[in-house]
Amino acid sequence: MEEQEFIALLLDPKTQNTAFQKLLSDYQRPLYSHIRNIVLNHDDTDDVLQNTFVKVFQHLKNFKGESKLFSWMYRIATNEAITFINKKAKRNGTTSEAMQTRIVENLRADTYFDGNEIQIKLQKAIHLLPQKQQLVFKMRYYEEIKYEDMSEILGTSVGALKASYHHAVKKIENYMTSN
Amino acid sequence: MKTFKLDNDPKIGTGFKVPDAYFDDFQSKIDQRLQENEKPTISLFAKRKTWFFAAAALFIMALSIPLLNLMFTSSTEIDKDTLEMYLSNQTNLSNDDIVELLNEEDIQKIKIDLKIEDQELEDILTTNCNMEEYIVD
């Protein structure tokens, strides 16, 4: 089915519920992974994922089709996740960077994390990067999102994204080699 | 020391796990959230809007009372005292002219009933040097 047809089904009150169920089943897993990579913790991911789908449903009527539905939803999820960690950090009287570093340090204690030493080391290396580089690296390395799609999601040029990823890889490789 | 290369080494996963059956009931969670959002919520302002408007109307009415009072009481008609002062001081009307404009009833109304005692009258007549003139008149 063409994306425009699917969007029409989402906007039509008669077919909206069925179409939205399909949207949920198609995107709940990839969006969960995307949000989890940003907020790190399962419970927070659950909150953000719910907020994302509620927002998607509420704003469907405003979706102009200027970008792909996929990019639009990822953009909402990314914004929701970043807003969530910033608010949470503010509530706890700390910065989002400090809060994320603490979560990474305590990953072993997380019930929903079963990574090995190398995975923990990579997470630590990632969280030493500036926020934008972290995001670009996670989306490219873990989620394997194409640069063109990432460009639509983050509103950044493909060239800038490639440069950002390149710098991130260099820093991570240096950290992984020396630690 | 071995140099680490992300592309050469086997792909490293995130290590994150998803709770069992998490996605099985995710749909129902979203449905519930959407239903909650559909319920009409009345904001605090909307709930008390009637009271806000009533209070505002009362305030405006209270402010307008002195203004309205001033508007309705200030008349362009000249009061009696001003008219009397004008007629007696600013015009050449004599008492006779005024009497001509009045009818008998008006004259009776303005007639002052002075009860002068005989003794007082006698005193005035004896002290007044124009007494003869009055008697002649």
For residue A151, the SS3 value is: helix
Touching check for A18 and chain B: CB below 8 Å? no
Please say whether the structural domain A1-114 has been given the CATH code 3.30.300.180. Answer: no
Which long-range contacts does A163-167 make (Cβ < 8 Å, 24+ apart)?
Answer: A164/A132, A164/A133, A164/A136, A164/A137, A165/A133, A165/A136, A165/A137, A165/A140, A167/A133
Residue A112 and residue A101: Cα distance in Å, rounded?
17
Amino acid (1-letter code) at residue B82: T
What are the residue boundaries of the structural domains of chain A, listed by start?
1-114, 117-179
Distances (CA, A) of B88 to A32, B7, B84, B113: 102, 118, 6, 22
Q: What is the pTM of this model?
A: 0.69
What residues have CB less than 8 Å from A5, skipping those under 6 apart? Answer: none
* Confidence class for position B110, pLDDT limits 50, 70, 90: confident
Is the pLDDT assigned to residue B1 strictly greater than 70? no
Rounded to the nearest angstrom, the gap between the alpha carbon of residue B11 and the centroid of all alpha carbons in its chain is 80
- Answer whether A129's CB lies under 8 Å from A171's CB: yes
Backbone angles phi, psi at B101, to 5 degrees: -80, -15
pLDDT tens for B85-101 read 887 777 777 777 777 77
Touching check for A114 and chain B: CB below 8 Å? yes
Q: Which pLDDT score, from 0 to 100, does residue A1 have?
A: 67
**Residue from A31, A39, A41, A42 to probe the interface with B (highest B Cβ count within 10 Å):** A42
Q: Which pLDDT score, from 0 to 100, does residue B126 have?
A: 76
| Average pLDDT in chain B | 79
| Average pLDDT in chain A | 94
Residue B87 and residue B89: Cα distance in Å, rounded?
6
Rounded to the nearest angstrom, the gap between the alpha carbon of residue B38 and the centroid of all alpha carbons in its chain is 44
Closest residue in A to B16 (Cα) is A113
Higher pLDDT, B4 or B134: B4
Q: Which pLDDT score, from 0 to 100, does residue B46 have?
A: 63
Nearest neighbour of B19 by CB, restricted to A42, A57, A122: A42
pLDDT tens for A33-89 read 999 999 999 999 999 999 999 999 999 988 877 789 999 999 999 999 999 999 999
Touching check for B41 and chain A: CB below 8 Å? no
Q: Which pLDDT score, from 0 to 100, does residue B137 have?
A: 63
Q: Rounded to a whole number, what is the distance in Å from the CA of B37 to chain A's nearest CA?
A: 9
Asked if A54 and B2 come within 8 Å (Cβ–Cβ), the reply is no
Closest residue in A to B6 (Cα) is A173
The closest alpha carbon to A11, from A56, A72, A76, belongs to A56
Q: Which pLDDT score, from 0 to 100, does residue A67 have?
A: 84
Q: Which of A63-77, A151-165, B61-75, B107-121 has the lowest mean pLDDT?
A: B107-121
Average pLDDT for A141-152? 97
Residue A146 and residue A130: Cα distance in Å, rounded?
21
Asked if A113 and B5 come within 8 Å (Cβ–Cβ), the reply is no
Q: Rounded to a whole number, what is the distance in Å from the CA of B4 to chain A's nearest CA?
A: 5
Higher pLDDT, B129 or A174: A174
Residue A135 and residue A171: Cα distance in Å, rounded?
14
**Residue from A52, A117, A118 to probe the interface with B (highest B Cβ count within 10 Å):** A118
Q: Which pLDDT score, from 0 to 100, does residue B29 have?
A: 94
Rounded to 10°, the helix B26-38/A16-39 angle is 110
3-state secondary structure A69-91: HHHHHHHHHHHHHHHHHHHHHHH
Asked if A37 and B14 come within 8 Å (Cβ–Cβ), the reply is yes
Residue A88 and residue A125: Cα distance in Å, rounded?
23
Class of domain A117-179: mainly alpha
Q: Which of A39-43, B69-73, B106-110, B127-131 has the lowest mean pLDDT?
A: B127-131
Is the pLDDT assigned to residue B41 strictly greater than 60? no
CA dihedral A122, A146, A130, A123 (to 10 degrees): -10
